Amino acid sequence: MLNLIHVGLELDTEEGKIRILEDINLELGKGKMYAVTGPNGSGKSSVARVIMGIALPTSGNILFNDKDITDLGITERAKLGIGYAFQHPPRFKGMRVVDMLEIAMRTGEMADCQCLRNIGLCPDDYLERALDASLSGGEIKRIEIATLLAQNPKVRIFDEPEAGIDLWSFEQLIDVVGSTHREDNVTVVISHQEKILNMVDEIILVENGMISMKGDQETIWPQIKESAECECRNSCTREGEIYADCPR
């Protein structure tokens, strides 16, 4: 369904070119769920952004249902059926939750509010709310996920959906990502969470802008378990003493 072939991404900065992604090869099949994981700054979100067209690859090709979409912009890719729930969704002054959901549904008016209920927000409380600074980080994140559910694209990419979400909602979130996945979808979840890594068909580990490992949960999890857990106690020292209160 979606193929990344030798995809590379470089950014021009004042200090010269920075390599963000290198030789990414992925074959994401219809009906499958994937997790992309890896350390902070490894390039996980960049993989999502080149799929969505927010960043255009500087080398390689992206195919969607065998069609080369490498040079297509964000809008064209969205129209083909690629969707992306942002890690840090932007806020909009004046625009309401209902306006955003209507844009996502492409209908002009809300047919139903199930997508809000699915992520634990009461439509009566939230539809008329402005998508601005009055919403908490957790709320805006949940609305972002509801927007992707409302859009219902063929390729669904969730970028760290758990970030900023409380524990109770997290369980609900995992349920809804799983239960809304259909046979003709590809679902990609960028995450560090063990529960998410456990629910997917394949885990893709990104390190230093490259795919260092991929495979099913049983193969990959034992190998990344240690690095996914906290190493803070071993490595973090403060004035020579081991700093005991790990922030993670």
Quick check: 126 binds another protein (CB under 8 A)? no
Q: For the stretch 166-194, what's the b/e string if a residue is b when 16 or more beta carbons lie within 10 angstroms of its beta carbon?
A: eeebeeebbebbeebbeeebbbbbbbbbe
Pick the binder of another protein from 52, 115, 165, 176 (CB under 8 A). Answer: 52
Q: Among residue numbers 77 through 96, which ones bind another protein (CB under 8 A)? A: 78-79, 83-84, 86, 88-90, 92-96
Quick check: 99 binds another protein (CB under 8 A)? yes
Token pair listed for 32: 């499958």
Quick check: 110 binds another protein (CB under 8 A)? no
Of 246, 223, 248, residue with least CA distance to 233 = 246
Q: Give the CA distances from residue 82 to residues 72, 211, 227, in Å, rounded to whole numbers and listed in that order.
A: 12, 22, 31
Quick check: 151 binds another protein (CB under 8 A)? yes
| Separation between Cα atoms, residue 94 and residue 87, nearest integer Å | 22
Cβ distance to another protein smaller for residue 134 or 198: 134
Among 61-69, 70-78, 180-188, 210-218, the segment contacting another protein (CB under 8 A): 70-78
**Minimum distance of another protein from residue 153's CB (angstroms):** 9
Quick check: 47 binds another protein (CB under 8 A)? no
